[in-house]
């Protein structure tokens, strides 16, 4: 197989791109299909927000003589996130450095010593590793519920795993490997009956599918800022149903009530010690504004149209395996090309056609046993709202070349 066999892009960006939404000169040589890791490109409003925040005088909320824009943006970002997630009050939104910090805040902030915890096989290592550390120390007993071949979780299996001392149920809302969306409302009912804290990891679903934290029934919902909320790295947070239901992960300066020897019990500053990432929060605010003005439903429909087009084409290729049902609930799906290591396929796609994907285990090691992938995992494809039909077709043609070559290998 020669690289010359692969389709190559014409000069310039494909027709139909949303040039008014982002800077085409930044992405002319790339077809980016790794949005489950970090979204790219960003709306131009996000790029502008970063530059504006860097040019303005620094200020942190409630820590200077007058409220200037960076302080106001933090408040407005919290309010906009509360509105997006249908939270009853913006003080329920805690801003952090990302989903990993948020998950550690919940898991380490709960009184779990001597209790039983339930999680699932589709979880990211940002849930599994904090829980495994508690398990290794003898603090908890951990049960991990199996998933099916698509990455779905049967609520009855969660119910069957309950014990008299179950204190926490932690569930991924959407698999970052197969795109399957879990019926968290049904699991929330189980958690309520057991009087267990219910934690939902919405890192992949926030911005991709509508989220109503009240209807979801979760005690905490974690989100990442740099994925489908179109913010930048180093941002994220969580919705917390009941104030002060967790111990803070960190304590320190809050800019107010400095005379207090302990962390002031005021939401949300109780959980936000230290100087906030004002530049990142400004970018997150712009990203959430984009999601809100575009509409989560419109984003979801556009992305899934692209995914279904790709999956339909790949399904006709004899050497391509698509894991799960291939019709993801969000714009993420997993595949392999027979005879090739997924790392090699990712390399060929990038070198031949400038296509960026993600190969490996995707920080979710347990799911692969259930969906049928090898020890080296799979190739994950995750378009975004900005992925064009022309880009999808270039990807399809490139996979077709690899697929035909796989059929000729000894």
Q: What are residue 3's phi and psi, to 5 degrees?
A: -60, -25
pLDDT band for position 71 (cuts 50, 70, 90): confident
Give the rounded distance of the alpha carbon of 150 from its chain centre: 18
pLDDT band for position 407 (cuts 50, 70, 90): low
Q: What are residue 120's phi and psi, to 5 degrees?
A: -130, 170
Q: Please give the model's pTM, rounded to 2 decimal places.
A: 0.91
Same domain, 110 and 148: yes
Measure the N-to-C terminal CA separation of the chain; round to a whole number of Å. 13
234 neighbors 277 (Cβ within 8 angstroms): yes
Residue ending a domain, choose from 294, 314, 342: 294
Write the pLDDT tens digit of every residue in 359-388. 999 999 999 999 999 789 999 999 999 999
Query: What would the mean pLDDT of 278-296 be, rounded to a whole number?
Result: 97
Write the pLDDT tens digit of every residue in 20-48. 444 444 455 699 999 999 999 999 999 99
Residue ending a domain, choose from 264, 294, 324: 294
Same domain, 350 and 396: yes
Calculated CA dihedral for residues 369, 371, 372, 374, nearest 10 degrees: -60
pLDDT band for position 256 (cuts 50, 70, 90): confident
Nearest to 59 by CA among 281, 288, 265, 233: 281
Least confident of 5-19, 223-237, 330-344: 5-19
Residue 239: inside a domain: yes
Range of 220's domain? 47-294
* CATH number of residue 153's parent domain: 3.40.640.10
Same domain, 115 and 177: yes
Residue 324: inside a domain: yes
Write the pLDDT tens digit of every residue in 340-351. 999 999 999 999
Residue 38: inside a domain: no
**Joined tokens for residue 346:** 């990712």
Same domain, 182 and 207: yes
Domain count of the fold of the chain: 2
């Amino acid at each position: 197989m020669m690289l010359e066999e692969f389709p190559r892009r014409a000069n310039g960006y494909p027709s139909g791109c949303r040039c008014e939404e982002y800077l085409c000169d930044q992405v002319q040589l790339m077809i980016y299909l790794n949005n489950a890791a970090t979204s790219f490109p960003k709306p131009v409003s996000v790029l502008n927000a970063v530059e504006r925040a860097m040019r303005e005088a620094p200020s942190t909320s409630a820590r200077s003589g007058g409220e200037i824009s960076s302080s106001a943006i933090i408040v407005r970002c919290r309010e906009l996130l509360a509105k997006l997630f249908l939270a009853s009050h913006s003080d329920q939104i805690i801003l952090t450095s990302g989903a990993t910090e948020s998950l550690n805040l919940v898991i380490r902030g709960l009184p779990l010593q001597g209790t039983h915890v339930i999680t699932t096989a589709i979880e990211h290592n940002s849930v599994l590793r904090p829980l495994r550390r508690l398990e290794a120390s003898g603090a908890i007993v951990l049960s991990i519920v199996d998933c099916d071949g698509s990455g779905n979780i049967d609520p009855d299996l969660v119910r069957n795993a309950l014990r008299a001392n179950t204190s926490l149920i932690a569930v991924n809302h959407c698999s970052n490997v197969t795109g399957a969306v879990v019926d968290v409302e049904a699991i929330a009912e189980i958690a309520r009956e057991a009087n267990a804290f219910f934690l939902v990891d919405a890192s992949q679903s926030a911005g991709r599918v509508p989220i109503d934290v009240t209807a979801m029934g979760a005690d905490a919902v974690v989100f990442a800022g740099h994925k489908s909320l179109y913010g930048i790295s180093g941002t994220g947070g969580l919705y917390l149903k009941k104030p002060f239901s967790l111990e803070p992960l960190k304590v320190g300066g809050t800019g107010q009530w400095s005379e207090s020897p302990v962390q002031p019990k005021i939401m949300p500053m109780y959980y936000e010690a230290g100087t906030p990432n004002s530049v990142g929060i400004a970018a997150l605010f712009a990203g959430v504004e984009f999601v809100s003005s575009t509409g989560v439903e419109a984003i979801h429909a556009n992305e899934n149209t692209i995914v279904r087009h790709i999956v339909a084409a790949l399904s006709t290729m004899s050497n391509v395996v698509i894991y799960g049902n291939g019709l993801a609930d969000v714009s993420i799906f997993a595949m392999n090309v027979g005879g090739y290591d997924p790392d090699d396929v990712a390399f060929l796609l990038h070198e031949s056609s400038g296509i960026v994907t993600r190969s490996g285990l995707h920080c979710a090691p347990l799911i692969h046993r259930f969906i049928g992938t090898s020890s080296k995992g799979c190739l994950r494809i995750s378009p975004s709202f900005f992925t064009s039909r022309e880009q999808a077709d270039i990807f399809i043609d490139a996979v077709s070349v690899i697929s035909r070559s796989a059929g000729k290998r000894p």
